[in-house]
Amino acid sequence: MSNQYIPPKIWQKDVESGGQFASINRPVSGATHQKNLPEGKQPFQLYSLATPNGVKVTILLEELLELGHHEAEYDAWLISIKDGDQFSSGFVELNPNSKIPALLDTTNGNRVFESGAILLYLAEKFGVFLPKNAEKRTETLSWLFWQMGSAPFLGGGFGHFYAYAPEKFEYPINRYTMEVKRQLDVLDKQLAQHGYVAGDEYSIADMAIWPWYGALVLGRLYDAAEFLQVADYPNLQRWARQLDARPAVKRGAMVNRNWGDEPQLPQRHSSADFT
């Protein structure tokens, strides 16, 4: 008797999908409970978690502060996605898609969601980490959106089936491993020719890509470094270590982290737990 799955004519959610995030997966959007978001006194209110998508934004905020942009001070509020904080009424009002990170600019009332949009918003607001030259700006945005389109294959594809799925299946792991290694090769070849991903300037493209692909080749993501043979990408390794040594990157990677050792956050943050 074959164990092959045959999809029904009409899909219905009758069982949990399994895996680490099964309890919060659902086929509809919107709030599940009423709860307002906390708000501090800094110009920016960040609601996030130190996943790769969350780390992108805190790296940029810390880099802005490192440059002396005091108007970039922010309060960082922890959103525990495993506990469903992203489905509170307050968070859904800020981001109807219920994904971290989400940002409130209290200076003008703008809400910004999606990590790439937040990076672009802050870079344009402060006039840094996004080249003003049209050709270089276009290259930077191309790599920023490369990350947006590529990372779901790494996270929701490879990461899910290799690390989080309740059972291991050869086909999806092989399928997504092949794509991830192709992406690593794309980055390695680009970085063989340039100091940073989009050229010779450190930019929001690097900040978007490093928390995913830098962490991966540094052995910090999915415990998959040996499986993916990350040593085969020396230029990517060089770039990953280079960014890892930046003080703002180190700080940004710690903000809103709720696992591992107790993070030592700068005093400017109101990193109160929102659970």
The answer to whether the predicted template modeling score (pTM) of the entire model surpasses 0.85 is yes
Q: What is the mean pLDDT of residues 8-37?
A: 84
Domain ranges for the chain: 134-246
What's the mean pLDDT when you consider all of the chain? 93
Instruction: Answer yes or no: is pLDDT of 270 > 50.
Output: no
pLDDT of residue 4: 85
End-to-end CA separation in angstroms for the chain: 47
pLDDT digit string (tens) for 252-264? Answer: 999 999 877 655 4
pLDDT digit string (tens) for 176-198? Answer: 999 999 999 999 999 999 999 99
**Buried b or exposed e, range 238-256, using 16+ CB within 10 angstroms:** ebbebbeebebbebbbbbb
Which residues contact residue 35 at a Cβ distance below 8 angstroms, ignoring those fewer than 6 apart?
88, 89, 90
CATH of domain 134-246: 1.20.1050.10
